[in-house]
Amino acid sequence: MILYPAIDLKDGQCVRLLRGEMEAATVFGDDPAAQAASFVEAGCEWLHLVDLNGAFAGQPVNGAAVEAILARVSVPCQLGGGIRDMATIEAWLSKGLARVILGTVAVENPDLVREAARAFPGKVAVGVDARKGRVATKGWATETDVMVTDLARSFEDAGVAALIYTDIDRDGAMAGPNIEATEALARAVSIPVIASGGVSRMEDLTALRDTGVIAGAISGRALYDGAIDLGAALAALR
């Protein structure tokens, strides 16, 4: 199982939100590229980047910070937040991003996801963000009637590289991930599932790993707070 350290970008800074609320942001640093480099020095094999402003604006906002990270590190990076058209997808991939994460458009324009996954094999993931089993979009500000499993299954034949499943109520709350829901999703589809939201201690990582079906886990706040030692976690997951 791959551990993805998270760098959430708001106004050019590294932050963590509580349950996706922009007003509940804790700033962890104002040099995202240096933060990325420190994660890589600890041995991580991937980075998970989120343009929080972009998720609300519907277009990239923290592009300069993302480009600085890409220039600084050599490990593959995936990015979500405000990527909602083919031109933006192409632009990010051409700048060296390994994978784009499509969330809102996966609900509103699923044909774009299919087109992008065909055009860029292995480089398109779908972000499935949910409250109580229902998908939320537009930076989690809009709740839909779409069920998580239905959305995931609709991309079963699309060539999507991964599903990133976030339980919004757990995100940033340091209360543990929704292992049951994440495992159920992973068993319902053949697409690799990455767990996000609430991963706050080593035991969370081992519990996700021990399901045997979850491909990865994203952690942010716990790494910044020191609740999870990144080097030790990577060694344990290997």
pLDDT one-digit tens code per residue, 49-97: 999 999 999 999 999 999 999 999 999 999 999 999 999 999 999 999 9
Share of the chain above pLDDT 90, in %: 85
In this structure, what is the dihedral angle of CA atoms 165, 195, 66, 120, given to the nearest 10 degrees?
-60
Question: Does 184 score more than 90 pLDDT?
Answer: yes
- Residues involved in catalysis: 8, 129
DSSP secondary structure code for residue 227 in this structure: S
Higher pLDDT, 12 or 25: 12
Which of 31-45, 163-177, 224-238 is least confident? 163-177
CA atoms within 13 A on the CB side of 56: 11
Average pLDDT over residues 207-229: 96
pLDDT tens digits, 23-60: 888 999 999 999 999 999 999 999 999 999 999 999 99
Separation CA 194–CA 135 (nearest Å): 16
In this prediction, residues 222-233 reach a mean pLDDT of 95
pLDDT tens for each residue of 131-165: 988 999 887 788 999 999 999 999 999 999 999 99
From first CA to last CA, the distance across the chain in angstroms is: 8
Tokens of 95: 């700048």
- According to DSSP, residue 94 is labeled H
Confidence of residue 19 (pLDDT cuts 50, 70, 90): confident
User: In this structure, how many other beta carbons lie within 10 angstroms of the beta carbon of residue 70?
Assistant: 21
175: confidence class by pLDDT, cuts 50, 70, 90: confident
